[in-house]
Amino acid sequence: MKKATKAAALVLTVVMMAASLTACGKSAEPGEVKDTTAAAQNENANAAGEQGEADAENAAPAAGGTLTFGTNAEFPPFEYVTSSGVIDQYDGIDMAIAKNIAEANGMTAKVENMEFESLLIALQNGQIDAAIAGMTVTEDRIEEADFSTPYYTATQVMIVKEDSDVASAADLADKKICVIQGYTGEICVKDMGYPYEAFKKGTDAIMELINGKCDVVVLDSATAQKYVSDNEGLKIVEDAAAFESEEYAIAVKKGNTELLDKINTVIDTMLADGTVAELGAQYIEAISAE
Ligand code: ARG
């Protein structure tokens, strides 16, 4: 438990308040976050009023039913495929949270594994009820979905070879940068104006780094930690001034307040009673011990 706590302290910061909506560059004040959300919700209410039929589609699954979560299980320690996970073959912090949410509402959690970039579309077309995928709340994404109370704070970091001279984001200027397609890391590097190559999976980008085909991978902190502990000769370089903190939250279809309320009730409890922090410690410890 001591070790777990230490590991958690290193990379896990449980969200207590809303902070920034952007991964890089300008950040939003907590007040702004609220305003934007309220405005977005008002819009939803209006849209729902105009087309009453859409309401039925937005109804949350009932007790006894199945709650389908979309994810992209390529993001340890939040979601990954294993021989026996908490939900079928899926395991990780998010999967444990998803299971808790379903069970607290008398439902069974099911996982649909898909490309990260397909998640918000899958929400919109009703293929999934909620998306839980270490998904950062961004200004663009709140246009497309409604987000739960954030449950985790992360930041982008730079993964480089141990002998790399990269010490800050400014050093990326003449480096070959790899990112993962559609992740906030890509948005950050794009915002910084650097050229980069985007890969489908974190492991693919890490392979390029190991093979010397790229100099740096920009990725979320806890996942980066996992890859660095799995592969010898890599290290993490942080630059808190260049990469602002990000918040992970669960997404539901816009206007689905019934499900969002159910999700938030469970998340709020799990944050307050320390369950999220414990899960974080447990999974981060588990993957670094492998
Ligand atoms: N936090 C980043 C984002 O929201 C990366 C998330 C990747 N998650 C995943 N399950 N593959 O863009």
Give the pLDDT of residue 6. Answer: 44
Give yes or no: residues 280 and 269 share one domain: yes
Ligand 1 and 247: CB distance under 6 A? no
Is 40 among the domain residues?
no
Q: Are residue 269 and residue 281 in the same domain, yes or no?
A: yes
In a domain, 18, yes or no: no
Buried b (16+ CB within 10 A) or exposed e, 155-167: bbbbbbeeebebe
Q: Is the CB of 135 under 6 A from ligand 1?
A: yes
94 in contact with ligand 1, CB cutoff 6 A: no
Mutation to probe ligand 1, out of 220, 221, 244, 250 (largest number of atoms < 8 A from CB): 220
pTM: 0.83
**Gap from CA of 100 to ligand 1 centroid (Å):** 21
Same domain? For 221 and 78 the reply is no
Please report the pLDDT score of residue 289 as a whole number: 64
Any domain includes 192: yes
Structural domain containing residue 226: 156-244
Nearest CA to ligand 1 atom 12: 183
Cβ–ligand 1 distance for 74 under 6 Å, the answer: yes
Establish whether residue 133 lines the binding site of ligand 1, counting it when its CB lies within 6 angstroms of any ligand atom: yes
Output the CA 8–ligand 1 centroid distance in Å.
19
CA of 230 relative to ligand 1 center, distance in Å: 19
- The pLDDT score that the predictor gives to residue 285 is 81
Q: How many whole angstroms separate alpha carbon 136 and alpha carbon 152?
A: 9
Backbone torsion region of residue 255, taken as left when φ is above 0, otherwise alpha when ψ lies between -120 and 50, otherwise beta: left
Question: 117 CA distance to ligand 1 centroid (A)?
Answer: 9
The Cβ-side half-sphere exposure at 54, using a 13 Å CA radius, reads: 15
Q: How far apart are the CA of 118 and the centre of ligand 1, in A?
A: 12
Question: What's the pLDDT at 39?
Answer: 39
Dist. CA 226 → ligand 1 center (Å): 14
- Is 148 in the same domain as 176? no
Same structural domain, 196 and 262: no
Show Cβ contacts of residue 253 under 8 Å, excluding neighbours closer than 6 positions: 58, 123, 124, 126, 145, 146
| CATH number of the domain where residue 212 is located | 3.40.190.10
Residues 134, 86 share a domain = yes
Q: What per-residue confidence (pLDDT) applies to 264?
A: 98
Backbone torsions φ then ψ of 53, nearest 5 degrees: -65, -30
Do 204 and 272 fall into the same domain? Answer: no
- Residues 177 and 234 grouped into a single domain: yes
Does residue 33 lie within any of the structural domains? Answer: no
For residues 163 and 239, membership in a common domain is answered with yes
**Residues 224, 82 share a domain:** no
Q: Could you list the pLDDT tens digit for every one of the 290 residues in the chain?
A: 444 444 444 334 444 334 456 556 444 333 333 333 333 444 444 444 444 444 445 667 888 899 999 999 999 999 999 999 999 999 999 999 999 999 999 999 999 999 999 999 999 999 999 999 999 999 999 999 999 999 999 999 999 999 999 999 999 999 999 999 999 999 999 999 999 999 999 999 999 999 999 999 999 999 999 999 999 999 999 999 999 999 999 999 999 999 999 999 999 999 999 999 999 999 988 766 66
Number of domains making up the chain: 2
Does residue 239 sit in the same domain as residue 124? Answer: no
Token pair 């896990």: residue: 12
